[in-house]
Structure 1
Amino acid sequence: MVRARRPSAQTLAVLNALADEPATWRYGYELGRQVGLAAGSLYPILIRLCDRGLLEATWEETPVQGRPPRHLYRLTGTGVRWAAEVAEEPLAAPVRPRLREA
């Protein structure tokens, strides 16, 4: 289920990166480097997107010799549509500080 609240800037960065090539499987490490997120921020986002049915995840079928298999991620059809919807939503107006009267 998708929330009505606008996703965070970090989630939007991940969605946009995945939406650039929605049919391509991507490694978490690669995504993190692309969007500038550390693993502690990136993987909870990926897990939430998977839990909501917006991302699908699978294990690497043929890992590099000497390296354990890695998770791969890509947007589902619903995820592609949702990424397009949130990309079109206007950003909230910035909050302007109130000036104090002297």
Structure 2
Amino acid sequence: MTARLRVTVHVQAVLRLLVSDPDVERYGLEIAESAGMMPGTAYPILARLVSLGWVEDRWEEIDPHTARRPKRRFYKLTDTGLTAARAALARARQPRLIS
């Protein structure tokens, strides 16, 4: 069984941002701010996208003491995720008929 993703307005915002430049790694807070949402909304979406295999993540390799900030977790669409994200965004744009 294939896992499904409920494509809410917030999920669409994250996907649009990631699809806009799929070769760029972005860190979580950057994604949240660029998508216009709070981190507490963005991080669960990113975790779900990672669990679906749409997004890959990695921790930044820095010394937090030297950098004087915490390590950042970077996210980037996988090839499968890029295809799935484009399809999900296309479906989300289709008008829905009310019967």
TM value normalised by structure 1: 0.81
CA RMSD of aligned residues (A): 2.0
Q: What is the match of residue 57 of structure 2? A: 57
Q: Which runs of 5+ in 1 are unaligned?
A: 97-102
Counterpart Cα distance in 1 of 2:71 and 2:81: 24
Q: Who is 2:71 aligned against?
A: 69
C-alpha displacement of 1:49? 0.4
Q: Distance in 2 between matches of 1:38 and 1:71?
A: 16
Q: State how far apart, in whole Å, the 2-side matches of 1:84 and 1:63 are.
A: 36
Aligned to 2:86: 84
How far the C-alpha of 1:63 sits from its partner, in A, is: 5.8
SS at match of 1:73: strand
| Bigger-Rg structure (1/2) | 1
Query: Are the equivalent residues in 2 in contact too, given 1:63–1:70 (CA < 8 A)?
Result: no
Q: CA deviation at 1:87?
A: 2.0
Amino acid at match of 2:58: T
Q: Secondary structure at the match of 1:82?
A: helix
Q: What is the number of equivalent residue pairs in this alignment?
A: 94
What residue is the counterpart of 1:29 in the other structure? 29
Q: TM-score, normalised by structure 2?
A: 0.83
CA-CA distance at 1:6 after TM superposition: 4.9
Q: Which has the higher helix share?
A: 2
Change (3 A) 1:67 1:88: same
